[in-house]
Every structure is written in C-alpha cells, then in structure tokens.
A and B are shown apart, each in its own frame.
Chain A
C-alpha cells in the first residue's frame, strides 16, 4: 500500500507504518482498521504526520491515532514525544484550545428514572449552563486576582469556590492542576479574554450530554465504576476558551518571528517551535500550564452546573442523584513525562493534539484508585451515535507513550456539511432516534451532524485491537446541549 511516494507497511492488524525517508527523523506510525485507510489517505492528514517527523528531538515515531484528520501544522489525532535536551516544544502541537478535554460522570439513575423527562433535562442544561458563541460565565466576572488563582489552582479553585468535591481531583488527569503554571508568562490580552469565560461551554464541537450505558464489554471494570446497562451518565466536552486561544496565538507569533534563529527548518510555519531549553520554550510551557489549569477549572464548574441542573429538574437531592466524576482527560496538551526509549527511561515532552493520555496500571501519576487498573480513557462520539469509556494499557506505554484517540474525528468539512445537510432533516433523524438536542445556533447542529464524523465504533475498535486502550462500556446519547 502507498501514500503519495511513501510506502505503508502493515505492522499488525491495526498498526501501520510509513518508514523514515527524506528528512524525516523518525517513521510515522498510525492506528486504523484496514477499511479506514482509504479515507485517512484521502484527507492528507498523513502528510502532516510526516511533517511532524521532521521536528528536532522527536523520539521513536510521529504517531497518528485512528481519529486522525487534517488540521493545521500537526494533524488532529497526532502525538509526538520530544527529547528534553535537544527537542522542541510547539504551540501548534498542542492546539489553540489548550487542554480541551472530556469528563465522564456516573449517576445512581437508570433510564426508566428519566425517560419521560429528557426534554426538561436538556432545557435545564440550556438554561443553567452558558453555551454558544460569546457566552459568558454562569459565575460572576472574575477579578484579576481570582483569575490568577484559577491559573495556579486549576480544578482545585473551582472546588474551593463551591463547585464540586475534593474527590473529583483524584479523578482528573494531573489532579486538575499543573504545578508549573506561572501567570507572569501570560499576556494581559489573554487574561482579559479569560475574565468572564470560566463556566462556559463555548461553541463548535463542545457539548454537554446526558446518556445511558447501552453495552458493557468489561463487567469487572464496569462494576468497579458502578456502571450497568441503562445507567445514566453525563459527558462534558470543553476547554480553555478564549484564554487558551490567546496564549497559543501569543507564543506562536513570537516563535514564528524567531524561527530563523534556529539551526533547523520546518515544513509549515504553523509548526513553529522553540528548543525546549530556550527561554521562549520554557515561557510557553509555563503559560500553557495556566491555560491547562483554566480548562480544568472550567470543566469542573460546568460539571457542577450540570449536576445542580439535574437535581433541580428532577427534584432530587444530590445524594439521590449520586453524581460522581469517573475521569477527566485532556486531549490538547504538552507534558513532561518519563517513558522508556530503547530500554532506558527518558524524560520527554509529550505533545498530544487531539489525542488522549492512556496510561496503563502502575504509573505514579495516577491516583491510588487507578494504580491497579490503569487510567480511564473517554472517547466521545458525535451527538447521534455512541461514546466509549475505555482503560489505558501497559501496551500503550511502550507503543504510543501512553496515548490513544480522542473522539470520532471529522471526515467532512463544515462547508460540505452545510451544502449536504439541513437543520430539519438532521433534527428529524435525531428525533427518530429519541435524541433531544438543543443548540445555541441551528448552524452548529448542521455543521456537527453525525454524518460529518467517522464511525466512532471503528475508531474505538482500531484502538481496542491494536491494544492501546481497551473497551469498558459503550454509551448512547439521550439529550445533548451543543455550543
């Protein structure tokens, strides 16, 4: 099999490789079912993975997950691990929506408890959780001092201010806080943008969903998380909003200007980067940590707003609802992690852009309750299909630096979506499936309709059979609030 002038080698059932050639420093390795390859090739995202393989200090492989699709600079679904001594850090390898991520929550409820109230539940979400373009926080505009605290404390700030419990931190990647955050490295412009957006969902593909477990693959782990068939679950997808976009923009601009000073060239200016050990490389990381913390605070508040909204709509107490965060994963982030490279433990700077951490058991970064089983991985689908809860594996640690996919992955552009689909037919199709959707804008519903995404079950199957994460349960949506 070939992609342009490159050979594609099959490594195993769902693992493929483009060997190193030209100025590539490492091969490209990607994960997909054979039937997905033609679509992946047609999208040209593999060229972006090849471009990433040119970057200095990249280790082992330029990785692409099965939800890979064409982005800018890095592909979406791309993972790159850089040597901390001679590698680079790239804002484009994280993306504008720094620490965009997903959280998955369980409740004590079952389908029968809510089947007649789904419309009310989604209406409640719509009224209580700010969403859409230009939405403001459900919490009062922050002072500068408060915003600095958000940047430093992350999810802990939200909990200290009444949005959740300490136990939520154990179930959040990095405990919802990157300790390196330094607000002095964040521009006034970024700070301005962030003042009134904590507790907002945003627009585009961000969402708040209520659904049920509709298939259990691993009874033991499903029991561990108290999930059974028809258990009601909630999924939140959002990020660092304008605050994170501005930080990425600020540092990209500086790195683009400085690019000529370095002794390497990049194939796309959106891959602008700086050696990790330089001042600008360090400053970007410290500012990025502020945005990561902002995003964790944001999702913590959003989750708590959803929880309160559910209690109010269903007229039940928090105890009866039994709302519990199972896990919060980030899918746009750079982190320093220790991994085994050629038999030696090495500190690396992991870039995950549209990719989720998928740590197996025993990693010291995980809270005690996940030490034995590994880290939960959340793979949301689109509003008309399924989402999956999976678990990280030992195999992923060696194969992908503990990484896997982050969602279904787009296959059609927004332009195509608007040309091919209309609001009425999408709404009626979702109605037929019993899925209630509220969107701040009709356009969002058209642009984000299920047909523009890959089949999430194929993506998850590729992950499962390649072994970089394993399925626990599948869920299906009942009601969705789209941004």
Chain B
C-alpha cells in the first residue's frame, strides 16, 4: 500500500498507483493506517476497504463530504490529506472509504466514510501534511508521490 522512507526528523512515505485518483485513495488509507493502525481493516481491493465485521466500536459509520480546490494536483493532495488529518486527530475519525463525486486536477468533491474511535486509539501524532518537495510523478502509466508528514 505504501512504503516508509528514511527522513531524519519527520516521516516520509511513497505511494504508487496506476491512476491519480487511486493515488489519492491510497494516500488517504495510508494516513489512516499511520494514525490508527490497520487492525480495523479487514480485506481490501485496489479501491475498496471494508470494516471488519467484528469491529470493536459499534457506532454507525459516518460520512463527511469534502470539497477542495487548489492550484494543482499536488496542492490538492496536500489539502485533502490535511483535511482528513484534522478530522482524524481532533475528532478521532477512522476513514476507511472514499466515494469521488468530482475529481479534476484542481478540484475534488468526495464523500469520506468513517467510524468514530477514541483518543486512546491514536497510535501516532502527525502534526501536519507538508508541501515539502511534493511532486506527483508519472512513469510508465504508474503514478507515484512522496509525502512528508511533520511529526
């Protein structure tokens, strides 16, 4: 799903996918995994992840709709992940699936599905998603990006 790279002070990950939309999806799931771990994720196909039937937290899944615009796809990705980070860290929302309503290089509208967890479920404190040297690269029909998180 993603690879953790060496970064002296903070945390950098590399994510790859065969579409830009898939890249955004995988980056979002990677963020959830870093923050809460994957113990609540049961099985996954390239585009869908399911919540374990024995999910220990019994609340119904919630949904928020995000509409984000930016100058380019890299900034769009940083702002999308930044929004998810805020809801994850401050409201303990465990995002597990995303339904795209609009996806362009400068705007996304997306339904983000989540379960409510608790502060104690957080495994890591990520302060922010940075713009540091971010570039979505295309190589032989494969898209990749390196994202640096401030810890």
Contact = CB atoms under 8 A, between A and B. Distances in A.
B146 to A, nearest CB: 11
A14 to B, nearest CB: 22
Nearest to A134: B119
B90 interface: yes
Among A76, A245, A272, residue most surrounded by chain B Cβ atoms (within 10 Å): A245
Contacts of A245: 127-128, 150
A101 B79 CA distance: 28
A412 B122 contact: no
A43 interface: yes
Interface string A48-66: 0000000000000000000
A253 B127 CA distance: 15
B112 interface: no
A133 B117 CA distance: 14
B79 to A, nearest CB: 7
A342 interface: no
B136 to A, nearest CB: 13
B71 A410 contact: no
B57 interface: no
A289 B137 CA distance: 38
B140 interface: no
A253 B123 contact: no
Nearest to B123: A133
Among B86, B92, B127, residue most surrounded by chain A Cβ atoms (within 10 Å): B127
B71 A260 contact: yes
A133 B125 contact: yes
B99 to A, nearest CB: 24
B58 to A, nearest CB: 21
Among B7, B119, B131, residue most surrounded by chain A Cβ atoms (within 10 Å): B131
A414 interface: yes
A325 B10 CA distance: 31
A416 B7 CA distance: 9
Contacts of A76: 9
Contacts, number: 100
Contacts of A253: 79, 82
Contact of B127 (A96, A410, A443): A96
Contacts of B151: 204, 414
Interface string B48-75: 0000000000000000000000110011
Contact of A249 (B9, B11, B128): B128
B45 interface: no
Interface residues of B, number: 34
Contact of B148 (A72, A257, A414, A415): A72
A244 to B, nearest CB: 9
Contacts of B92: 134
A246 B10 contact: no
Contacts of B79: 253
A252 B90 CA distance: 20
A70 interface: yes
Interface residues of A, number: 44
Nearest to A269: B131
B116 interface: no
B7 A70 contact: yes
B119 A410 contact: no
A248 B122 CA distance: 22
Contacts of A270: 130-133
Contacts of B131: 72, 252, 256, 268-270, 272
B4 interface: yes
A248 B9 contact: no
B127 A134 contact: no
Nearest to B70: A257
A367 to B, nearest CB: 32
Interface in B1-59: 4-11
A466 B128 CA distance: 35
A410 B86 contact: no
A75 B124 CA distance: 23
24 contacts: A43-B8, A71-B9, A72-B130, A72-B150, A96-B127, A96-B128, A133-B119, A133-B125, A134-B122, A193-B86, A202-B125, A204-B125, A253-B82, A256-B75, A256-B131, A268-B131, A269-B131, A269-B134, A410-B9, A413-B7, A415-B4, A415-B6, A415-B11, A443-B123
CB-CB nearest 9 A-B residue pairs: A134-B119, A72-B132, A269-B131, A270-B132, A203-B125, A413-B6, A70-B8, A245-B127, A96-B127
Given A69-B8, A189-B86, 12 more contacts: A70-B8, A71-B8, A133-B123, A133-B125, A134-B122, A249-B82, A252-B131, A413-B6, A414-B7, A415-B5, A415-B7, A416-B6
